[in-house]
Structure 1
Amino acid sequence: MSVLDGSRASLDQRILLADGTPVDVRSLGPDDAEALVRLHRELPERDRWLRFATVSSHGLAPYATAAAISGQVWGAFLGAELVGAMHLARDTATSAEAEVAVTVGHRMQAHGVGTALLERAVLESRRQGIRRWSAEVLAENTAMVRVFADLGLPTTRQQDGPSMHVVVTLPDDDDPEGTARYSAAALTRSSRAARAGLEPALRPRSVAVVGAGRKRGSVGRAVLDTLVAGGFAGRVHVVHPEAPTIGTIPAVASVELLPEAPDLVILATPPDALPALAEACGRRGARALLIVTSGLAAAGVDGAVLAAVHRHGMRLIGPNCLGLVDTDPEVHLDATFAPAAAPSGTVGVVTQSGGVAIAVLEALRGLGLGVSTLVSVGDRYDVSSNDLLAWWSGDAATSVAVLHVESFGNPRAFSRLARRVSARIPVLAVRAASSDVGARAAASHTAASATPAVRRDALYRQAGVQPVDDLGELSGALAALCWSPPSPGDRVAVLGNAGGTNVLAADACVAAGLRVPPLATATRERLDALLPATAATAGPVDTTAAVDAATFAACLEVLRDAEEIDAIVAVVCPTALGDPGTALGRELARPGRRPVPVLTVALDQRVRVAAVTAPDGRPVAASFADPADAVHALAHLVRRGADLARDPGRPLPAEEHPVDLATARAVVAGVLARAPGGGWLEPDECAALVRAAGLDLLPGRTTRTVDEAVAAAREYGGPVALKAVAEGVVHKSERGGVALAVEGDDAVRAAVTGFAERFGAAWHGTVVQPMAPPGAEMLVGVAGDPDFGALVTAGVGGTGTDVADRRWHRLVPMTTTDLAELLDELPLHRGIAARLVDRDRLAVVIARVARLAELLPQIAEMDLNPVVCTPDACRLVDARVRVAPVTGPPPPGPRADVTTGEKR
């Protein structure tokens, strides 16, 4: 986070109030006592009475000073001004209840300061183990009573004379559903705040451009010309130190001389000029900045620009960006230096790359589509894709969203926002490159597979975001989603007049995970009545090249009526006998048909994707030059249909998957006390940790000498497994540190002696376990991440562990639907797993690992491998866990979801 001024350490969070005003929230200390006293003393008598049941300011100074010193006060700052404070007071350091009090400066009341501070209080209370708040509020202070009631938390009120005693029950680790309800309410508030915060940028009443030259050829002049040519509905001002006019717009010599406080200022000047300009814009009352200039960090001015933005409560788009567009007829804002005006439409676009933004605009133009809003966020110092997701969540003018995200500032917030938006409209994301360097250094099998790309794809999947790999696929997906209904299923019929191309289309369907089932007898009979005897009607349907356009359209009608079919790919090839494609537009425009998506392939088509149009000219389907492109686009329609039908599920129930959190935390604390930087748990510690999650770990004993190992093996009786305990050795079997089915004293002595010789000074013991019964071997694991949260991995274990494409992943927190879908992906219906793996028992293992990972962010890596599955049990044979301290600022509160404040 940036520094508000030079006198303090970095801020905890930058958040948005209900009206979109950015404020900074941080804990207060002794240096803030004067500001806290001033906040209370400047309250009007009426406010002071409602807050303290007194109109006197006597005694406020000692109270405020003592509160600040206690470290349990958090303040909201608008620039350098403290506009609100929240105080948590608990009787003892271990008390589960605290008294909470909020004070908001008079001019900032009804802006959402109190609610934002209470959201921060929820975060701090959970960190400190506080379960309940109590507050004494005057009954006549209805505004404060309503703030408590509207938080989305269980609240009780009891009036005692003029006072109201309010008790608020906070989200609890053992109540994931209550936590989810609160998170949903907070997300609604943060989304509204984000939309309000973007109003000055996307719906400005006035725009000022700084950096537009007298001659064309500069970026600033290009933005100004585009803005004017686009017919911006508001007022346009220009700042130029010398010229009286730029183009047709009168200019003023400085920002201070602007005739009004602009909503949006566009800055296209050299980096060195930006700190002073940002400060001047803030002083003049600007509400948002758009900085197209690049190179701020290299010039060393990035911190100063951000400080000015924060000091004056402005929003910032960029720097190093193409600009922004809002095609709303009441706005007509096109503030970019793209080569052509942005086409108007219903596609929302946010990109980090200006080049990608231009490419998307050209692709949309080629399809006859356009944008509702486009924002190039560039280096994303403030406004990010999260802000735009919040905007689109309430924007009826946007029917499809497109994201190009090179990195995630707040991936957990992205997931929550994208999930909400994708429930309303399709969300597409162009996959950017991801580095796997960090994963190659990971020690555990799970962490090695948890590459940045895997985390990103898991994030997209659980949030309902559909990724595309290139701009060509994006064009096809947009055409399909804009012109066809979602597919209710994955059963595809292929219809064509060129048999070889039909086969290519059918093969592409299978490769894409779609089904091409045989057609029902009744459907085939209707097709046989239309087609020559040489036609093939079992599926794919080959009409032969001899059919005319009307017959081909009639066959399409039959397939649209077929209940056994969810979608259709129609392949047409013009011949000397005619072009079957000429009747498709009319047939697809006919009303009253089942909403079955139809994508066409025209083998003579010169462009990659185009529209099939109705007689009145409106697009009714997408047409492709290549069958594979058509099928890829169809897969997006199938995915969209599945997403719309998907039950999001509920949080994994704590009562079914309890975690002994006190024991688990004690284990982790013990390891971190021994190794403050983190490290691998000893076998006994691993056992205690996984058993705290209620998991069935095979019994074992850690022995330190050969004789102890022999004695332990005798007690277990029968063959045993021996595992070396050696410093720095994680994958024991790969290093010769595992001996299986060892039986008899001599064999045990020989194996343990071999460990000691092999590992030398690093060897300090042997784990002795009874042999697990034979079964299917699975892997369940965790790879922690401070930004994304823990990634849970499941897949084939034992000797098949290193087959990377046999692992499947989900991020926590997982829902019951996430768990069910993960189990559906696992190969439980094939081979030995079909006979030995009880799905419900494996589900319990995965769910408890997921809950443990969610509740203990210190888990950096965990491998349960193998988990031996038999029809009556899933037994953990080995567990490896690495923990690391959780450092850095607290996780973002809900109101900070859309304001990461990140520079990189």
Structure 2
Amino acid sequence: MGELSALFSPERIAVVGATERAGSVGRAIMENLLDSFAGEVVPVNPSHEEVFGIPTLDDVAAADADLAVVVVPPQIAVDVVREAGEAGVRNVVVITAGFGETGSEGAAREQDLIEVAETYDIDLVGPNSLGIMSTPVGMNATFGPENATEGRMSFMSQSGAFITAVLDWANDQGIGFKDVVSLGNKAVLDESDFVREWGDDDDTDVIIGYLEGIDDGQAFIETAREVTAETPVVLVKSGRTDAGAQAASSHTGTIAGSDQAYEAGLEQAGVIRAASVQELFDAARVLESQPLPEGDGVAVITNAGGPGVMSTDAIGDSRLSMASFTDSTLDAFSEALPAEGNIYNPVDIVGDADNERFRDALDVALGDANVGSVIVLSCPTAVLDYQQLAADTVELQAKHGKPVAACFMGGARVEPAAETLADAGIPNYFDPARAVQGLDALSRFRDITEREYQAPTTFDVDRERAREILASVEGRADTRLGVEAMGLLDAYGIETPAGDIVDAPADALEVAESIDGDVVMKIVSPDILHKSDIGGVKVGVPNEEVYDAYEDLISRARNYQPDATIIGVQVQEMVDLDDGVETIVGMNRDPQFGPLLLFGLGGIFVETLEDTTFRVAPVSEPEAEAMTREIDAAPLLRGARGREPADVAGVVETIQRLSQLVTDFPAILELDINPLVATPDGVEAVDVRLTVDPDQL
């Protein structure tokens, strides 16, 4: 195991606040430990001479403990932890509530707790924690009513109540755990610490968890990306809201809520995100026990047509596919099945199928090179012995070494067969869709293990010029920048159309005459972000109309908002949109994960269509390239319907350059390049707007 091994394998545990008082947390923890812990339990309570017949100590310093479990009132909990640290105790679980979750006084108390832990190098769980468990040593240092049974999953949760509910259910389902941690307020140890620990633990095959938030998203991505190369991590993350976008003023900020950051961050970390508790355990059980598939083709063997169709629909909704059988497989099915059966996928072996027919069909399917995994789907009949079917399934899965999910539908008749399957690590589901989800999790994790992480490209840029442009907001009430910040993109090598910003009509004409063809003219004002809404953009202006166009744009802006700051007018080379695709590249800074990049279909419909995808910056070239494939409009970039392909490589490089820009400058809170026009000849950023925090410069 890793650095936290002593936390999960103590030999001597001190319970500070131990008592026999009925209904108390101190009593519950003592009872749980005394019931199963292989080591020594030392009660600490100066108000008692003994607890459950064990002599008490007056303070934790005298306990000589490997782990201290603190159950005293919050007003003295910090002092107890300090005493433990001074005595050399390096592992502490603070059960006590009344810290950061209770307001400013509690938050100050929690900060004191953090400082004590840092001073004495204490690995501290909590505060406000249900406690921790580790089944190999029989440790149940919680005040929950259930102990975990032994298994090879390790489980963390921000909700202690969720742990008690899960353990009650899991014991009934025969699901076991190695370690269980109630994270509490995560004052010191958080989800990244436990993912790292369990990733190094040979006795943990799957890491699962329930999280309400991740405090340091960047650290979590870095840690989990390493762990998930070998150990699956499956999480339920609650709170799918748009709260993170409430105060946003850019397109990206409007679209990119907090859940998009979690979705992107967890995907980049290699974490499988479950939408429900059922999905969490369906994925965990199959990942714990089944081999990874070599391919995504699924064969369905069933004695019931309806459920076979249901499984086919579920496969169609997943990343998996219905396997296409080889000719030899089809011939074998033709021999094994009656004429009324279906030899194509899903394979219907007909309702009168006995165990021999089921076994023959399953053996043929598992032997097909095009089949990555198999679903054995059966409904009870008088001629079918479920227990024998389970035994045959176990034997054939071991013979072929391919993942199998069982869907033995029924009630009490299924239970003995399900136990036989479970003992061999084959999950059984009543619902065919759940069987598909389980196999889908295997496929997803296989792809995660095959990823080759590539470091982000570092481009040669002009950081000083970029800093000067961003610093132009200093001293201003409004810290937004628009097209006057196009030089920021130039400084980072992002192509922009030729042109300039001018503050006189004569200068506008001079710029226009230096550009071949007609020009685009836009009002430049930090107070007028949606320029086209007020007629603040003129397209296709010939030289002879530039002077009047300048005056008209200024007049429109003054009439729309008399007190607006008018910087001038941008005169810009026209970009041919007929052969191009308007995209958007943007960033919204998430409180937990940092810069969240967006790429999608741009132009005026960006907020309506929301054809977008997200990544947490910095991104590598493969990640940026993947973003260009994930949107619905991806075929437009690659030459759909006879169009010449756009410069996708240029788009990929622009995403990477923007990634470097927003990583280099935390002062950029949000940024849009919209549109970023991709043509066959190149990529150009036509417009930009951003919000800057000058205190971060």
TM-score of the alignment, normalized to the shorter chain, above 0.5: yes
Contact (CA 8 Å) 1:659, 1:851: kept in 2 or not? Answer: no
2:486 corresponds in structure 1 to 687
Distance 2:500 2:625 in 1: 35
Cα offset, 1:561, TM superposition: 1.6
DSSP 3-state at the match of 1:482? helix
Distance 1:442 1:380 in 2: 29
Distance 2:650 2:677 in 1: 11
Q: Which amino acid aligns with 1:349?
A: F
* Cα shift readout 1:271-300 (whole Å, capped 9, x = no counterpart): 233234334333443323211121234464
* Cα shift readout 1:88-147 (whole Å, capped 9, x = no counterpart): xxxxxxxxxxxxxxxxxxxxxxxxxxxxxxxxxxxxxxxxxxxxxxxxxxxxxxxxxxxx
Kindly indicate whether residue 133 of structure 2 is the aligned counterpart of residue 325 of structure 1. yes
Contact (CA 8 Å) 2:498, 2:515: kept in 1 or not? Answer: no
Q: Which amino acid aligns with 1:400?
A: V
DSSP 3-state at the match of 1:622? coil
Cα offset, 1:762, TM superposition: 1.6
Kindly indicate whether residue 14 of structure 2 is the aligned counterpart of residue 208 of structure 1. yes
Any unmatched runs of 5+ in structure 1?
1-191, 889-904
Structure 1 segment 844-855 matched on structure 2, within 5 A: 844-855=653-664
Q: Which moved more, 1:314-323 or 1:597-606?
A: 597-606
Structure 1 segment 244-263 matched on structure 2, within 5 A: 244-255=49-60, 258=62, 260-263=63-66
Cα offset, 1:721, TM superposition: 2.3
DSSP 3-state at the match of 1:760? coil
Q: 1:254 to 1:860 in 2, by over 3 A?
A: closer
Structure 1 segment 472-871 matched on structure 2, within 5 A: 472-578=278-384, 582-590=388-396, 593-605=399-411, 612=418, 614=420, 618-648=423-453, 650-654=454-458, 657-668=459-470, 670-675=471-476, 679-684=479-484, 686-706=485-505, 708-709=507-508, 712-713=511-512, 715-716=514-515, 718-743=517-542, 745-746=544-545, 749=548, 752=553, 753-762=555-564, 764=566, 765-774=568-577, 775-785=580-590, 787-803=592-608, 805-827=610-632, 829-831=634-636, 833-834=638-639, 835=643, 836-871=645-680
Distance 1:480 1:431 in 2: 20
1:39 corresponds in structure 2 to none
Q: Which amino acid aligns with 1:679?
A: T
Q: 1:483 to 1:678 in 2, by over 3 A?
A: farther
Cα offset, 1:397, TM superposition: 0.8
Q: Which amino acid aligns with 1:356?
A: F
Cα offset, 1:763, TM superposition: 5.8
* Cα shift readout 1:561-599 (whole Å, capped 9, x = no counterpart): 222222222321113443577424423333764432221
DSSP 3-state at the match of 1:494? strand
1:267 corresponds in structure 2 to 70
Q: 1:735 to 1:319 in 2, by over 3 A?
A: farther
* 2:123 aligns with one of 301, 305, 315: 315
Cα offset, 1:828, TM superposition: 5.6
Cα offset, 1:524, TM superposition: 1.8
Any unmatched runs of 5+ in structure 2?
none
Give the fraction of aligned pairs with identical amino acids, expressed as a percent: 29
Distance 1:606 1:759 in 2: 74
* Cα shift readout 1:312-363 (whole Å, capped 9, x = no counterpart): 44332111111111222xx332211121221111111111110122233234
TM-score, normalised relative to structure 1? 0.71
* Cα shift readout 1:871-891 (whole Å, capped 9, x = no counterpart): 221122112232224659xxx
Q: Which amino acid aligns with 1:511?
A: D
* Cα shift readout 1:167-197 (whole Å, capped 9, x = no counterpart): xxxxxxxxxxxxxxxxxxxxxxxxx9xx43x
Distance 1:748 1:611 in 2: 85
Distance 2:638 2:606 in 1: 15
DSSP 3-state at the match of 2:599? strand
Cα offset, 1:311, TM superposition: 4.2
Q: Which moved more, 1:448-457 or 1:814-823?
A: 814-823
Q: 1:386 to 1:267 in 2, by over 3 A?
A: same
DSSP 3-state at the match of 2:249? coil
Cα offset, 1:219, TM superposition: 0.9
Contact (CA 8 Å) 1:547, 1:580: kept in 2 or not? Answer: no
Q: 1:513 to 1:743 in 2, by over 3 A?
A: farther
Cα offset, 1:795, TM superposition: 0.8
Kindly indicate whether residue 157 of structure 2 is the aligned counterpart of residue 351 of structure 1. yes
DSSP 3-state at the match of 1:425? coil
DSSP 3-state at the match of 1:252? coil
Structure 1 segment 129-528 matched on structure 2, within 5 A: 195-196=2-3, 198-230=4-36, 232-255=37-60, 258=62, 260-297=63-100, 298=102, 300=106, 301-328=109-136, 331-528=137-334
Contact (CA 8 Å) 1:550, 1:580: kept in 2 or not? Answer: no
TM-score, normalised relative to structure 2? 0.91
Cα offset, 1:409, TM superposition: 2.3
Distance 1:214 1:366 in 2: 29
Structure 1 segment 90-129 matched on structure 2, within 5 A: none
Cα offset, 1:830, TM superposition: 2.6
Cα offset, 1:262, TM superposition: 1.6
Contact (CA 8 Å) 1:317, 1:383: kept in 2 or not? Answer: yes
Distance 1:733 1:319 in 2: 53
Cα offset, 1:821, TM superposition: 2.6
Cα offset, 1:707, TM superposition: 5.3
Contact (CA 8 Å) 1:449, 1:804: kept in 2 or not? Answer: no
Q: Which amino acid aligns with 2:499?
A: G
Contact (CA 8 Å) 1:484, 1:598: kept in 2 or not? Answer: yes
Distance 1:591 1:562 in 2: 13
* Cα shift readout 1:363-401 (whole Å, capped 9, x = no counterpart): 432342311111112011111112212211321111100
Contact (CA 8 Å) 1:863, 1:881: kept in 2 or not? Answer: yes
* Cα shift readout 1:545-568 (whole Å, capped 9, x = no counterpart): 122222122212212122222222
Cα offset, 1:729, TM superposition: 2.2
Contact (CA 8 Å) 1:212, 1:218: kept in 2 or not? Answer: no
Q: 1:581 to 1:779 in 2, by over 3 A?
A: farther
Contact (CA 8 Å) 1:599, 1:623: kept in 2 or not? Answer: yes
Cα offset, 1:496, TM superposition: 1.6
* Cα shift readout 1:453-481 (whole Å, capped 9, x = no counterpart): 11111111111111112111112111211
Contact (CA 8 Å) 2:480, 2:526: kept in 1 or not? Answer: no
Q: Which amino acid aligns with 1:652?
A: P
Cα offset, 1:749, TM superposition: 2.8
Cα offset, 1:512, TM superposition: 2.1
Contact (CA 8 Å) 1:455, 1:791: kept in 2 or not? Answer: yes
Distance 2:350 2:92 in 1: 62
* Cα shift readout 1:533-555 (whole Å, capped 9, x = no counterpart): 22222322222212222212221
Q: Which amino acid aligns with 1:534?
A: E
* Cα shift readout 1:47-83 (whole Å, capped 9, x = no counterpart): xxxxxxxxxxxxxxxxxxxxxxxxxxxxxxxxxxxxx
Distance 2:638 2:81 in 1: 63
Q: Which amino acid aligns with 1:800?
A: F
Q: 1:627 to 1:805 in 2, by over 3 A?
A: farther
Q: Which amino acid aligns with 2:527?
A: G
Distance 1:824 1:868 in 2: 16
